[in-house]
Structure 1
């Protein structure tokens, strides 16, 4: 007898300041306010925010955990749950334990791949944000896309 796998998607809740939700994400500063605790992490972590058409946060997920200097971001993994959450667009947020917000060559390369995949799927990448010590870097603000 063969078995068919059933996909079950479950969501957990995270308490955040009411002022940060139920309104469009208009700036990377809003995202930084939600995820500023990432600056204290000793390993790189990647979070993905799933947005509705009004740019409000539908859900978020921890998409990857790496080492102190790198993490693997696979576009298929990043977009899989975004599609399941019926996201219209997404924002990728990750930290640099070194404290710098300057993007690495790997950051630039993966952001470019995510932009291309987003165009193909019709789920655009709104921003790619790097969190460092008390600051952030935004590809959108820097004019990288």
Structure 2
């Protein structure tokens, strides 16, 4: 698994990726496993500002990349479908899982969370890259849109 960061190369050559290599193969077979992985490697539940990550997965639900797609303030983070799917397409993802934290510790989805999840699903349907889940991390718990039939 890799944490990938997109940046322009010298002289505006093709996009390069910075990688953090993880030797183990991590499966995205359940929201709980994704939640645990992001807490293990990125301490997502304990961050004091909102961060949003996109987890790219292959056809067998193995994680092939993790991208930070947004970093916001204490109570918001701007997530743009263009940035999310640009990264998903760059690593040939079969699907994605979007995960962000609520620094308050309460993983209940807000109105903007619901709107972003809907917008990402619509964009993914057009592009042919399925959004498998939209997970909100709280302190010691998470909320999965997939588990609550909201995608």
- What TM-score do you get using the length of structure 1 for normalisation? 0.90
- Give unpaired runs (5+ residues) of structure 2: 1-10
Alignment of 1:54-65 (within 5 A): 54-65=60-71
User: Runs (4+) of structure 1 moved beyond 3 Å?
Assistant: none
2:31 alignment counterpart: 28
Structure 1 CA distance for aligned equivalents of residues 124 and 114 of structure 2: 15
Q: Which protein has the larger Cα radius of gyration, Structure 1 or Structure 2?
A: 1
Q: C-alpha offsets along residues 71-111 of structure 1, whole Å, 9 cap, x if unaligned?
A: 00000011111101111100001000010010000000000
1:70 to 73, 76, 85: 76
Aligned partner of residue 42 in structure 1, secondary structure: coil
1:6 alignment counterpart: 13
1:115 counterpart = 2:121 = yes
2:4 alignment counterpart: none
1:91 to 81, 97, 110: 97
1:49 alignment counterpart: 55
| Deviation of 1:14 (Å) | 4.6
| Deviation of 1:12 (Å) | 1.0
Structure 2 CA distance for aligned equivalents of residues 5 and 38 of structure 1: 32
Structure 1 CA distance for aligned equivalents of residues 21 and 58 of structure 2: 18
Structure 2 CA distance for aligned equivalents of residues 88 and 48 of structure 1: 13
1:136 counterpart = 2:142 = yes
